[in-house]
């Protein structure tokens, strides 16, 4: 057997091995995709098909319900001005308080400046996760039971909910700062506070301002539902209209919420342009 024949057989063997490997990979992928498709189909059946009252989705019933919501309660509009202002003020105060609470958490959760090493880093990251993991409605229930009904409970709930997002973004921005200015300040004998004020803070200020403006935009949306737990604002009016089965009143409050959110979008857009 000459060398060329041996090389040809080795090449055929390698090609066969590659073909078998590709076939096994294709079968594995087909099995995985089939299992995922079966799981999705089962979920849709259990959650949507089997658990839906299809009798209520008839054309007459659905049309009648939509018609009720289209009967806007115009007489309710004057009573929405003060709650809308309360909603905007709640979001503003919650965002500012959330920033104040988020700064020390970001300091603990930034790996390059955390004061006590891994222990304080883990503690800071744990606070971020706790804030983001608990929904604002749950925070609202906690603070309503602590300070009573009213806007204060909503402000505290949204502020604590904002801490996780704001502090995480700031901490990651601190970890990504340019090391040159920090090393220069340390080289001339600067302490940790001077490094923070003159080496890190100027680099992260745009990120901080942009994050707070974005969080304020989010808190406008959150504040509209905080009234469902008795925390004031448009959400409280919405809850009252729902309790009275006033479909037109519910639609009117929802329209007011939509207009407030659109106004917040415009303000936040121009605020980000002006600051950043």
Note the pLDDT of residue 72. Answer: 81
How far is it, in rounded angstroms, from Cα 91 to Cα 177? 30
| 61 belongs to a structural domain | no
Q: Considering the chain, what is the average pLDDT of its residues?
A: 83
Q: How high is the pLDDT of residue 56?
A: 66
| Average pLDDT over every residue of 236-244 | 83
Written as six digits, the tokens of 254 are 């929802």
H or E stretch at 170: helix 151-175
Q: For the ranges 5-9, 79-83, 89-93, 212-216, which has the lowest average pLDDT?
A: 5-9
Within a domain: 58: no
Instruction: Please report whether residue 66 resides in a domain.
Output: no
- Band (pLDDT 50/70/90 cuts) for residue 40 is very high
Report the distance separating Cα 89 and Cα 220, nearest Å: 9
Domain count, the chain: 2
Residues 226 and 99 grouped into a single domain: yes
Tokens of 79: 């009573």
**Closest C-alpha among 135, 129, 189, 198 to residue 164:** 129
Specify if 64 maps to a domain: no
Q: What distance lies between CA 167 and its chain's CA centroid?
A: 13
Considering only 32-46, 127-141, 197-211, which range has the smallest mean pLDDT?
Answer: 197-211
What percentage of the chain exceeds 70 in pLDDT?
91
Which range scores top for mean pLDDT: 58-62, 75-79, 112-116, 122-126?
122-126
Is 216:268 a contact under the CB 8 Å cutoff?
yes
In a domain, 70, yes or no: no
Confidence of residue 179 (pLDDT cuts 50, 70, 90): confident
Q: What does DSSP assign to residue 136?
A: H
Q: Is 147 within the bounds of a domain? A: yes
Domain annotation covers residue 205: yes
> Six-digit token pair at 165?
């997002």
Secondary structure tally for the chain: helices H, strands E: 11, 0
**Global pTM?**
0.72
Q: Which domain holds residue 37?
A: 3-52
255 and 156 housed in the same domain: yes
Residues in contact with 112: Cβ distance below 8 Å, sequence separation at least 6, in sequence order: 174, 175, 177
Q: Tell me: do 48 and 82 sit in the same domain.
A: no
Query: Does any domain span residue 63?
Result: no
């Amino acid at each position: 057997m000459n060398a060329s024949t041996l090389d040809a057989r080795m090449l055929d063997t390698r090609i066969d091995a590659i073909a078998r490997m590709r076939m096994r990979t294709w079968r594995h992928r087909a099995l995985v995709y089939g299992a995922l498709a079966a799981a999705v189909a089962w979920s849709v059946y259990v959650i949507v098909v089997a658990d839906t009252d299809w009798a209520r989705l008839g054309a007459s019933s659905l049309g009648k319900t939509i018609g009720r919501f289209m009967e806007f309660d115009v007489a309710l509009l004057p009573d929405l001005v003060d709650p809308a202002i309360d909603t905007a003020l709640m979001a503003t105060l919650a965002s500012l308080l959330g920033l104040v609470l988020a700064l020390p958490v970001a300091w603990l959760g930034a790996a390059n400046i955390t004061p006590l090493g891994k222990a304080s880093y883990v503690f800071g990251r744990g606070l971020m996760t706790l804030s983001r993991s608990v929904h604002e409605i749950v925070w609202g229930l906690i603070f309503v039971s602590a300070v009573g009904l009213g806007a204060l409970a909503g402000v505290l709930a949204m502020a604590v909910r904002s801490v996780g997002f704001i502090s995480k973004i700031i901490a990651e921005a601190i970890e990504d700062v340019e090391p040159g200015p920090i090393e220069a300040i340390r080289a001339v004998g600067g302490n940790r506070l001077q490094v923070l004020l003159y080496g890190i803070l100027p680099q992260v200020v745009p990120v901080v301002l942009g994050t707070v403006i974005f969080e304020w935009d989010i808190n406008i949306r959150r504040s509209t539902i905080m009234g469902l737990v008795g925390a004031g604002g448009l959400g409280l009016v919405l809850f009252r209209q729902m309790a009275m089965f006033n479909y037109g009143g519910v639609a009117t409050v929802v329209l007011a919420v939509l207009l407030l959110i659109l106004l917040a979008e415009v303000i936040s857009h121009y605020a980000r342009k002006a600051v950043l």
